[in-house]
Amino acid sequence: MELDMERKPLHNVHRIGSQRYGEIRVVAEKLMKKHRNLFASILISGHSPDGLAEVLLLVDDFNNVVTDPQVSEAKISASQLAYEQKLPLKFEAMLSSVFWDGMKTRDEPVMQLARGSVVVHDNGFFLPMQDLLVTGKIRPSKESVGVYFVKAEQSMRSSGQHVSRAVLDLYWAVTDSAHAAVMIAGITPPSPKELVGLVKDRLVAGNLVHARCAEIIARSYDIAKKIMHKEVFEIAGREFDSYLADADFFVKEMDEFIQGRLK
């Protein structure tokens, strides 16, 4: 009695989408028909929001004698098939032996390919390695663990720097709206430093805008100067929220003042 075995689901296919995956599979099947037994695996190794997908051709040099012209011809054929199907695909090729060497040495780019790629075609070479890696049966090297931890630290620092740049954007929102307000009041726009005093002495003291505006523009100017002079590199999220609330209040006050003068 012959039993049908249940196949394991493909890893990462949800990242591509069934329609997109099917389109790429059509190209892969035509390519395999044209170049019989040449490929150990065909993988979707990357994709971008604009629709471009990167496809890696793993050329089987374990069972075949493979030449450089054969590999080049296969890449050209793949590009032509993608063009005929009007699919934005970028093709790269790698020898299976090179990929295997990278797996043995835990080479980080190869490990990332093995971990994150989507299999379109496989003759039994790639899928077992991917499954062993994803399920934790192939241990990452100490070096790759270190690489990921360094990347995590870099991302943490980068996030703080992104917040600092966002605070500068809020500073310019405050400054530009204040410039517009003093212009509508008939005052020649001064430098940002002088603008702080003008808002306090002319707009707030004249009861033209809320008294809080003087404090906001002074605080905004102070933090922007520190960021620009490299005295402050990172800003916590909670602190950013306070700058965002201040800027929102300030811009609305300036807008109300300007609209009142334009009537």
Q: What is the mean pLDDT of residues 80-91?
A: 91
Q: CA 57 to CA 195: how far, in whole Å?
A: 61
User: Which of the listed residues 125, 140, 155 is the one where a domain comes to its end?
Assistant: 140
Q: CA 56 to CA 45: how far, in whole Å?
A: 6
pLDDT at residue 260, rounded to an integer: 85
Question: CB atoms < 10 A from the CB of 228, how many?
Answer: 11
Task: Give 145's pLDDT tier (boundaries 50, 70, 90).
Answer: low
- As a 3-state breakdown, the chain gives helix, strand, coil percent values, each rounded to 5, of 60, 10, 25
pLDDT at residue 129, rounded to an integer: 92
Q: Domain residues for 188?
A: 144-262
Phi, psi values for residue 139, rounded to 5°: -80, 135
pTM over 0.75: no
Q: What is the mean pLDDT of the chain?
A: 86
Q: Percentage of the chain surpassing pLDDT 70? A: 88
Which range of 41-55, 90-104, 133-147 scores highest in mean pLDDT? It is: 90-104
For residues 92 and 177, membership in a common domain is answered with no
- The domain tally of the chain equals 2
For residues 125 and 162, membership in a common domain is answered with no
Contact 71, 59 (CB under 8 A): yes
DSSP 7: P
Q: CA 56 to CA 61: how far, in whole Å?
A: 15
> Any idea of the CA torsion for 70, 75, 76, 81, to the nearest 10 degrees?
120
For residues 161 and 133, membership in a common domain is answered with no
